Structure 1
Amino acid sequence: MDELVVQTKGLTKRYGDGDSGRLAVDRVEMTVRRGEVYGFLGPNGAGKTTTLRMVLGLIRPTAGSATVLGRPAGEPAVTERIGALIEGPGFYPYLSGRDNLRTMARYRALPEAMVDAALERVDLADRGKDKFKSYSLGMKQRLGVAAALMGDPDVIVLDEPTNGLDPAGMADMRGLIVELARGGQTVLLSSHLLAEVEEICDRVGVIARGQLLVESTVSALRGGRRLRITATPTDRAIAIAMRLAGEDAVQLSGDAILVDVPPERTPHVVRAFVTEGLDVHEVTISERTLEEVFFEMTRSGEHVHAADDLTSSLEAVR
């Protein structure tokens, strides 16, 4: 069994008194494994940052628990093994980027050599002498990530790490995150850029209205491949597809028909269409994107239980 480095059980946060208070996080059960990149997804106000702050021990849960590296969140012995960037970096504006990191290194009793190494990793070595107040939003974000990397933490928690970065900077950040995981560090990140998460994350958790809707691999969430057929007349094509695959396995998408059948059955389906006298204009294999799945789930609010429906798919891609 893969080692769990972050685990929450019934994690709940309510602001205000009693049942009338605002429920920000509702009984979240999260598991993050060693050496993986875990993407935490959800709309604005879904409870992502509040959950991460409880995992880091920055705020106390109303109920439930969070453990990191086998110990309760917030314990000093645990905190020193975590690097984090939450809700944007906070630094002294009139100090340089390098001096800000030096201050942090002295406070944490880290060797100064780690400062230049961290600046190099986020491509800020040539701007380390510039004052923080002169940095662009993207540079400030990269300095925050550099601070999180100092000390070679076992767990790195990043809240929207590519915020403010240009496309080249985003690509560099994705490469750095993958490199960290390959080196054995665990990365827990929140992001609203679903294509980015789809590219680099081993597993994801989707949260909406404070509740964790599902936790699974990206490939399992996207589901299997579907047959996309454009044929006329459309009404007859739909009827034939339903006869072959069942009513629940057929969906109309614009002028095309999506049929949930294994790709190896493609010749059988096309042959049936042609035999029935239909004109087949296009046949392709379609795969749902993570973005499509995300919006389906967060709009409907349906709870998908990985233990029931996705047990066979929960092994990490790595």
Structure 2
Amino acid sequence: MDGTVVRAERLTKRYADRLAVDSVSLTVRPGEVFGFLGPNGAGKTTTLRMLLGLIRPSGGRASVLGARPGSPAVLARVGALVEGPGFYPYLSGRDNLRVLSRYRGLSDRAADAALDRVGLGPRGGDRFRSYSLGMKQRLGVAAALLGDPDLLVLDEPTNGLDPAGMADMRRLLVDVAAGGQTVLLSSHLLAEVQEICNRVGVIAEGRLVAEGTVADLRGADALLLRAHPLDRALAVAMQLAGDDAVEVADAGLRLDAEASLVPRLVRELVADGVDVLEVRAAERSLEEVFFQMTGPDPGGPPSAPTAQEVS
């Protein structure tokens, strides 16, 4: 291996005249939580299915754990939940997991441990057909965790969960990565990705438009200053931060400067007779970045709604 758990190079999938995935290249490193972020229909699930060997790419290539996707050696080290989990409806959640455990040469204790890990222990004896959507999703994640795989691939793992369940799932995935396993998850929930992922790949209309840490995607530090009179505040700010680092924005001033400048900036403004109303960090949210990258005018000003979910 070359230090990567997953590597895709110009991975492409075409269905007749529709290009579902268009030359996607990305890397997933050991021990990280990598978030694959994009709107519904952007190509996330199709890409994951190619990486798992469930469908063949139309072009490009990929390697998982140093080998061909879908090969027996790789599948033995990968746990996955892609789209809806499939289980026997007439069996209990515990018995479903035990069937899978025995198939993989694991003990019943492994099934019970996975059930407890996702918070389904008390409901393990209930039939799968009686489970809510969130419970079915938890059971699917439990199945993916069987055998402590080196790589966990999860497609929308918090789908159907209530807010408390989503928080539990996020903590679980962080714990999995902290234990040395690697997590690759797709999501259209911006808050989820921003909170738990080490790095993010953003996909829109089948193309990867960005890859990097959340901090990298959000951009450099900036400060937002509201003061009166504005013209005198502008003169002081330009003197301290530089003419090109200050612009009028949001009924105030935006400074491309680090937070360490704040004490000196405030002192200079007050000394010049300027009333300082507010100074705060003006870091872009991942939501703003996402809509700027995937909107109708990529690179232009974001026109995002305030909701954290992208539909």
Normalising by the smaller structure, the TM-score range is 0.7 to 0.9
State the partner residue of 1:74: 70
The one-letter code of the counterpart of 1:170 is M
For the 8 Å contact 2:89–2:128, the answer to whether it is kept is: yes
The one-letter code of the counterpart of 1:195 is A
| CA distance in structure 2 between the aligned counterparts of 1:135 and 1:235, rounded to whole angstroms | 63
Q: Deviations over 1:21-61 (max 9, x none)?
A: 11111111110011111111111111111111111111111
State the partner residue of 2:137: 141
Distance 1:56-1:249 versus aligned 2 partners, 3 A rule: farther
Shift of 1:233: 4.5
| CA distance in structure 2 between the aligned counterparts of 1:105 and 1:270, rounded to whole angstroms | 63
| CA distance in structure 2 between the aligned counterparts of 1:249 and 1:113, rounded to whole angstroms | 62
For the 8 Å contact 2:245–2:257, the answer to whether it is kept is: no
SS in structure 1 at match of 2:5: strand
| 1:104 aligned onto 2:100 | yes
State the partner residue of 1:314: none
| CA distance in structure 1 between the aligned counterparts of 2:257 and 2:162, rounded to whole angstroms | 40
Q: Deviations over 1:236-270 (max 9, x none)?
A: 655765675445652512x3332211223334544
Distance 1:62-1:98 versus aligned 2 partners, 3 A rule: same
Identity among equivalent positions (%) equals 64
Q: Deviations over 1:78-123 (max 9, x none)?
A: 1121100111212122221112112222333332221111101111
Where do residues 228-267 of structure 1 align in structure 2 (5 Å cutoff)? Answer: 228-234=224-230, 241=237, 244-247=241-244, 249-250=246-247, 252-253=249-250, 255-267=251-263
Q: Deviations over 1:163-184 (max 9, x none)?
A: 1112221121111111111111
TM-score of the superposed pair, with normalisation by structure 1? 0.86
TM-score of the superposed pair, with normalisation by structure 2? 0.88
| CA distance in structure 1 between the aligned counterparts of 2:83 and 2:259, rounded to whole angstroms | 44
| CA distance in structure 1 between the aligned counterparts of 2:146 and 2:198, rounded to whole angstroms | 24
RMSD: 2.2
SS in structure 2 at match of 1:30: strand
State the partner residue of 1:177: 173
SS in structure 2 at match of 1:220: helix
| CA distance in structure 1 between the aligned counterparts of 2:62 and 2:9, rounded to whole angstroms | 6
Q: Select which of 293, 296, 301 maps to 2:298.
A: 301
| CA distance in structure 2 between the aligned counterparts of 1:248 and 1:53, rounded to whole angstroms | 45
SS in structure 2 at match of 1:291: helix
Shift of 1:232: 3.3
Matched residues, number: 297
| 1:35 aligned onto 2:54 | no
| CA distance in structure 2 between the aligned counterparts of 1:187 and 1:179, rounded to whole angstroms | 10
For the 8 Å contact 1:2–1:34, the answer to whether it is kept is: no
For the 8 Å contact 2:237–2:265, the answer to whether it is kept is: yes
| CA distance in structure 1 between the aligned counterparts of 2:126 and 2:181, rounded to whole angstroms | 30
Where do residues 271-282 of structure 1 align in structure 2 (5 Å cutoff)? Answer: 273=269, 278-282=274-278
Distance 1:95-1:257 versus aligned 2 partners, 3 A rule: same
Q: Tell me, which stretches of 5 or more residues in structure 2 are unaligned?
A: 300-311
Q: Select which of 21, 28, 32 maps to 1:25.
A: 21
For the 8 Å contact 1:203–1:216, the answer to whether it is kept is: yes
Q: Tell me, which stretches of 5 or more residues in structure 1 are unaligned?
A: 303-318
| CA distance in structure 1 between the aligned counterparts of 2:209 and 2:232, rounded to whole angstroms | 37
For the 8 Å contact 1:245–1:259, the answer to whether it is kept is: no
Bigger mean CA deviation after superposition, 70-79 or 260-269: 260-269
| CA distance in structure 1 between the aligned counterparts of 2:135 and 2:263, rounded to whole angstroms | 53
| CA distance in structure 2 between the aligned counterparts of 1:66 and 1:297, rounded to whole angstroms | 25
Distance 1:288-1:12 versus aligned 2 partners, 3 A rule: same
| CA distance in structure 2 between the aligned counterparts of 1:8 and 1:79, rounded to whole angstroms | 17
